[in-house]
Amino acid sequence: MSIGRYVLDAIYERRSVRAYERRQPSITLVRKLLKAAVHAPTAMHREPWGFAVIQDRDVLKRYSDRAKAMLRATPSQAVGWGSSALLRGDPPAMLKDPAFNIFYDAGTLVVICRRESSPFADADCWLAAQTLMLAATATGLGTCCIGFAVPVLNTREAKRELGIPREGAAVAPIILGYPRAPALGVPRKPAHVLSWIGREAAKRATRA
Ligand SMILES: Cc1cc2nc3c(=O)[nH]c(=O)nc-3n(C[C@H](O)[C@H](O)[C@H](O)COP(=O)(O)O)c2cc1C
C-alpha cells in the first residue's frame, strides 16, 4: 500500500470521538504524536507552537467546570477564543448540565498553544492540530477538538499553570483517548468550487 493511501485512510477515518475508555494513552505514544505534530507546515519556519499536556482527570474536571461557568456567565458578550474567534449567543443547554464534561471524560488533553503573537501563529497551531489528530487516528486513538475550552485556557491563572507565555495563547485544545465505540461518520457536502481558472473542462464545475 502506498503512503498516499495511508494518509487518505487517516483523513477519512478521523472522526470526533466523544466517548472514551478509562485507559490512558502512554506517555511514549503522546510524545510520538507531538513529534508528528511539529512536522506541520509553519509560516516563515517560525515553529511558534508549544504543547501543554494534561493527563490528570481531576485537573480536566476543574477546567471543564470552570469553562462551563464562564460560558454560561457570558452568554451575549464576546468571549475571547485564542486570538482569532468570538463566541456569541446563548450557551447550549449542555453547559447547564452538571454531569456534562466538556472533555467527554477523556483522560488526556493536548493544548496546542502559540508562544508568540506573529501573524500566522494561529494557523500554524491549527495545522499542527490536524497533523496530530491524523497521527492519532493512524495509531488507533480518537480525538476531538474542544473549542469550549479555549476561553478558560486563556485565563491568566490557566496560562500560568500551563506555562503559556504572556504573549502566547491556547489555540487548539485536543482531547485524546481510546474510543469506547467506533465514532459515527459525519457526512460532508461535496467541495463547493467557487471558481476554477484554466483547464477548460473543469471551468464550469461547481463541485469537485
Ligand atoms: C475549532 C473547533 C472547535 C470545536 N469545538 C468542539 C467542542 O467544543 N465540543 C465538541 O464536542 N466538538 C467540537 N468540535 C468538533 C466538531 O463538532 C466536529 O469536528 C464536526 O462536527 C465534524 O465532525 P467530525 O470531526 O467527526 O468530522 C470542534 C471542532 C473545531 C474545528
Residue nearest to atom 18 of ligand 1 (CA): 16
Atom from ligand 1 closest to the CA of residue 17: 26
Mean pLDDT of the chain: 90
| pLDDT given at position 110 | 99
Which stretch of 12-26, 28-42, 88-102, 158-172 has the lowest confidence by average pLDDT? 88-102
Cα-to-centroid distance, 173 and ligand 1 (Å): 11
Q: What percent of the chain has pLDDT over 70?
A: 88
Global confidence as pTM = 0.91
Ligand 1 in contact with 144 (CB < 6 A)? yes
Q: Is 28 exposed, middle or buried (0-12, 13-18, 19+ CB in 10 A)?
A: exposed
Tell me how far apart the alpha carbons of residues 81 and 149 are, in angstroms, rounded to a whole number. 9
| pLDDT given at position 89 | 57
Tens digit of pLDDT for each residue in 115-143? 999 999 999 999 999 999 999 999 999 99
Residue nearest to atom 19 of ligand 1 (CA): 16
Tell me how far apart the alpha carbons of residues 123 and 114 are, in angstroms, rounded to a whole number. 10
Query: What band does 205 get if pLDDT is binned at 50, 70 and 90?
Result: low
| pLDDT given at position 200 | 76
Average pLDDT over residues 184-194: 93
Cα-to-centroid distance, 68 and ligand 1 (Å): 17
Residue nearest to atom 20 of ligand 1 (CA): 16
| pLDDT given at position 123 | 98
Residue nearest to atom 9 of ligand 1 (CA): 146
Tell me, what DSSP letter sits at residue 162?
H
| pLDDT given at position 81 | 40
Is residue 196 pLDDT above 80, yes or no?
A: yes
Cα-to-centroid distance, 183 and ligand 1 (Å): 13
Is residue 82 pLDDT above 50, yes or no?
A: no
Pure H helices in 110-155: 121-138, 150-153
Tens digit of pLDDT for each residue in 158-188? 999 999 999 999 999 999 999 999 888 889 9
| pLDDT given at position 84 | 35
Tens digit of pLDDT for each residue in 38-80? 999 999 999 999 999 999 999 999 999 999 999 988 754 445 4
Give ∠ CA 82-92-74 in degrees, rounded to 5.
55
Torsion angle, alpha carbons of 126, 50, 115, 82, to 10: 40
Reported as half-sphere exposure (CB side, CA atoms, 13 A), residue 191 has a value of 6
